[in-house]
Amino acid sequence: MRILLTTTSYQDTPGRHHELLEQSGHEIVRDRGPLPQSRMLELVGAGGGFDGLLHGDDEITRPVIEAALPRLKALSKYGIGLDSVDVQAATDLKVPVLFTPGVNHTTVAEHTFGLMMMLAKHLQVEANHVKDGRWKRITGTEMAGKTLGILGLGRIGKEVAKRGKAFEMQIIAYDVYWDEPFAQQHGIFRAEAAEDVLRRADVVTLHMNLTDENRRFINKQRIAMMKDTAMVINCSRGGLVDEVDVADACRAGKLAGYGADVLEHEPIKAPHPFQEIDNIVITPHIASRTYESVERQAVMSTENLLRLLAGEKPLAQANEF
């Protein structure tokens, strides 16, 4: 069988996943994503097509899936978020969508706090001052005693909450699917609405899936509800914020800062409203890119695909038909 592999962190990071894929005996075709729809259409239409796609955040649209049929047997996402995959189209066309829940919550939670510390202590700006030969000292902010607001108390949100308690922060959270035993165990206050979190939190961290309903959830109107000293952290999806509104708020001092590992359109293309603002820190979608997490994701995505191609049940499937 033929498999198309596009995710770069899978290819660039050593680990057991390479052995699994090589020992499968399947033909592997490699490209480097994330790829737009146009390139995906070129690939799936060449060389007789593919039995499986082992992909990252490539644009897996209805036209791509249709072009890959009838040979395509499965889509195996390296990762959790499926907003780049037309899951409804895959379901309509009876193509299994496989994914890797539960593999990166630790490292994304750590990255969330890394961004928080960079903003609270002005670490990026101060480090650049010293490298430039300047000894300019800016007063930072402690996290202890502050209120951490978590929007989305799933696997990653829970890991962030536990770390927030270790920093002696007060935790308020909102999630449609509420885990009351976890909240009670860790002393988390349940907000009745997401806007309640925005009004009360000193730091708001986003751990929601991106949907049509919450696209650009953090916008001018909701920023107006927040404290002027509040920071926003986004290690989820860039589309959850209105980037122009966030840039304006950070520049004007309405937000103390914005730290994110994601952009609405990646990679960044100049000019971008975030580039010249000191209290905005952006990393290039690396929150889950540690050796440990990459191997977990890559092994699970590989096992998902190889099991399905062998006629066995995958470890995790996102759709049913």
- Among the listed residues 155, 237, 289, 296, the single catalytic one is 237
Respond yes or no: is residue 285 known to be catalytic: yes
pLDDT at 131: 97
Q: Provide the residue-wise pLDDT of the chain in tens; the chain has 321 residues.
A: 999 999 999 999 999 999 999 999 999 999 999 999 999 999 998 888 999 999 999 999 999 999 999 999 999 999 988 989 999 999 999 999 999 999 999 999 999 999 999 999 999 999 999 999 999 999 999 999 999 999 999 999 999 999 999 999 999 999 999 999 999 999 999 999 999 999 999 999 999 999 999 999 999 999 999 999 999 999 999 999 999 999 999 999 999 999 999 999 988 999 999 999 999 999 999 999 999 999 999 999 999 999 999 999 999 999 999
3-state SS string over the chain? CEEEECCHHHHHCCCHHHHHHHHCCCEEEECCCCCCHHHHHHHHCCCCCCCEEEECCCCECHHHHHHHCCCCCEEEECCCCCCCECHHHHHHCCCCEECCCCCCHHHHHHHHHHHHHHHHCCHHHHHHHHHCCCCCCCCCCCCCCCEEEEECCCHHHHHHHHHHHHCCCEEEEECCCCCHHHHHHHCEEECCCHHHHHHHCCEEEECCCCCCCCCCCECHHHHCCCCCCCEEEECCCHHHECHHHHHHHHHHCCCCEEEECCCCCCCCCCCCCCCCCCCEEECCCCCCCCHHHHHHHHHHHHHHHHHHHCCCCCCCECCCC
Respond yes or no: is residue 266 known to be catalytic: yes
- Among the listed residues 22, 266, 276, 312, the single catalytic one is 266
**Domains of the chain and CATH, by start:** 2-103+290-309 (3.40.50.720), 105-282 (3.40.50.720)
pLDDT at 81: 86
- Among the listed residues 285, 289, 296, 303, the single catalytic one is 285
Q: Report if pTM > 0.85.
A: yes
pLDDT at 46: 84
Respond yes or no: is residue 243 known to be catalytic: no
